[in-house]
Structure 1
Amino acid sequence: MFQPKIKYVASGQYIVLKSEPLILQAILGTCVGVAIYDKKNRVGGLLHLLLPEPVSLNMANHPERYASTGMPLFIQALLDAGAKKESMRVVIAGGALVGPINEQDLALDIGGKTSEIVKNIVDQHQLDIEASETGGVFTCSLSMDLSKLKVKIEPSYDTKTCSKETVSVPDRKRVERSIDKILPIPQVALKVLRIIYNDTYCTQTIADEVKKDQVLSARTLRICNSAMFGLRHRIESLEDALVLLGRNRFIQMVLSAAVKNYFSQTDFGYSICKGGLYHHAVGTAIITEKIASGIGGSEASMAYVAGLMHDIGKVVLDQYMSSAYPYLYRQENNESMNMLEIERKTFGIDHSEIGALLAERWGLPDVYVDTIRFHHHPDQSKSGSNLSHVVYLADIIMSQFQAGLEIERIDLSQLTRSMETTGLHLSQFPSIVDLLPHQNLNSQED
């Protein structure tokens, strides 16, 4: 039986097309998705909104991110494609709270505000709303089959019945032994990490070291030219990368290339889509660096690496998640447990702890080991820096506003505390969300 290809619509993006054998899909957490179709004129489209209104100068470049500016553009694109207002039908989904209902959610309610603006604009254009399922605290999928112009709102993962007895669940000792099967981090990458930590490095020296590893050199160039980083000029050599990117960006590319293979996963594990763990890691790294640079301090130089490596423990556990994920995610929904609690209950260890063990095995600097271990509980950090708090904030943003990469309910009880510790106020949270890199959001299929 023929299965139409699925095209993911990332945050801050819309796609409008004539009817064809293609499924448009958006995975929604706090973001809001809007599907509009016109069966009479055979036109449909899907919009994936990040925030209710612009909160920064970023709006000029990416107005489709925001409900107030993106909805008018989306409707006009449908009209330009041949749709008529009188025959348009609208479906709205997403807008989940940032976590279980509490005062900070009621104060932020980003999804609720986005949904409200969407509905106001729909009313202004006198369009008919066919269905609207917004709010809650869970991730959902909004999809449109363009061949039939049919829209569905479904859970974002398989909810088939599955019990612990029907899956292969290893004990803690077996999980810990799995660390031995993980290949060691390339020596060049390890040397780069230590040089950054000691803040005593010459870029050309690093480039010369990278050249000695032909595989890493090739991977670095592929990363530089990928859609994920959205560079305007094609980079042909490491020397070009140094000139065009500068020292810090070049080093980030090298490290991103070095860890990419570790984040490959099975069809169903922590990630909803292929490459999701890696894209989540890079997105978290970029946001961590931006937050750290904004607040200042010595952590800024180490922030990208800390964000990139924070979920490295999932590399070990992902092989077991393939068979266990329906059972684990049902626990996450029905028992309102966060992923760390579920991992400890199921495996006897969580990805933060096993990630720290792996980082120690690799000989990473202590500050990275500490951040990996405590990125979900930054108040327990023993490093004396705010790096764990910054990674925690970046992880929340990626998990809630780029939900199509992986499913993980994060304990949000420390959100306000972490923002205060880093000198930020809860009212600034939407501005931090707006730090999401546009090019990374549109690269899930790379």
Structure 2
Amino acid sequence: MTEVVTGTAIIVGAGHAAAELATHLRDNGWQGRIVLIGEEPTLPYHRPPLSKAYLCGAVTTESLLIKPKATFDKADVAFISGTRVSAIDRRACTVELADGKTIHYDRLILTTGGRPRPLPIPQIEQAQNANNFHYLRTLNDVERIRQQFVAGKRLVIIGGGYVGLEVAAVAVEFGLQVTVLEALPRVLARVTAPELSAFYLSRHRQAGVDIRTNSQVQGVQLAPCGGAVTAVLCADGSCVPADLVVVGIGLVPNVELAAQAGLAVDDGIVVDEFGQTSDPNIYAAGDCTNHPNPILGRRLRLESVPNALEQARCVAASLCGKPKAYAAVPWFWSDQYQLKLKMVGLSQGYDQLVLRGAPETDSFAAFYLKDGHILAVDTVNRAPEFMVAKRLISERIHVDPRRLADEAIPVKDLLTPA
């Protein structure tokens, strides 16, 4: 890699990866200009609290900022807000903004993130124009939803993943009548074992949430004026009345800008272990990347704040002539009611599940194993197990399943052979 620390580095996108990159570039010795370009009018902010603490009003807009303006000012980062990058000219090394202006770059970093996956129904355009149909991705989305969070209102949530269940937990505590429609046979089906799905299903139903699995949404019913959705229609013929609708069925990576520029794209912008794309002058980081992970032994795309931060740090170091390969164990979290779910690793392909603690106590850990090795661990209100799990997976420490399940053995002792 050629060291270019005196030119212009342009960061497209203004999420977690972008904020981390901007300041870490300076910390790693970048002496040239740093320009951060974001489509939203605000400084980079934390997105995970949007469906939790911010939705319920427990935190302020100011507290969501990833870094205060003073931090960017100190690092001499030029921030262009409310602006979309419309094209990349790789030959001229420029980006074109939606207003027609162009900016030259020596290094370009794409941290374009993703957008909510649209609900695949025939009337989607009409639904999206309705004033009570919502996705949840931005501050503006949450502001619109909160205005309609009124006790007694009928909220229909489409999608029983993290976002859907987090919104359900907040809404039911606000006194709304909440129905969750999940197309698969169980909630959190893509990320957890049936035992965890059953646990969360039970807790939500105890709180008063009506969760319906195997519910394929095939349309919506609109008010005669077309300005509101009045019901959600399912493939089984059921009609679920709605005063407001929130859709959370996944994320689509924003790769169009990269694809139009001729960069390699495959369920994300394809990068190497240093975050470099198929163009040596262009890098990428965060939710939009398809990257190799040596610990997992395969390529993948992650929608994870820790991944975005760590990948950004690696890109910043590599751009400053200090090559640092990304090699981190994925981890995630979700807060629902008083349940703090923390997950480390990816459980796909496991052949054995070991529970440590009892789910009915609201404090337990689930270990996913394949051929005797730990692939992933889900912890509910179990901080010690979560911290140990990171090492168990990254260091490939083999533990007898019987020891994993035995709470008489201190959790830290799992790191050493019996």
TM range (shorter): under 0.3
TM-score w.r.t. the length of structure 2 is: 0.26
Bigger relative contact order (CA 8 A; separation at least 6): 1
Q: Give the number of the structure whose residues are more often helix, by fraction.
A: 1
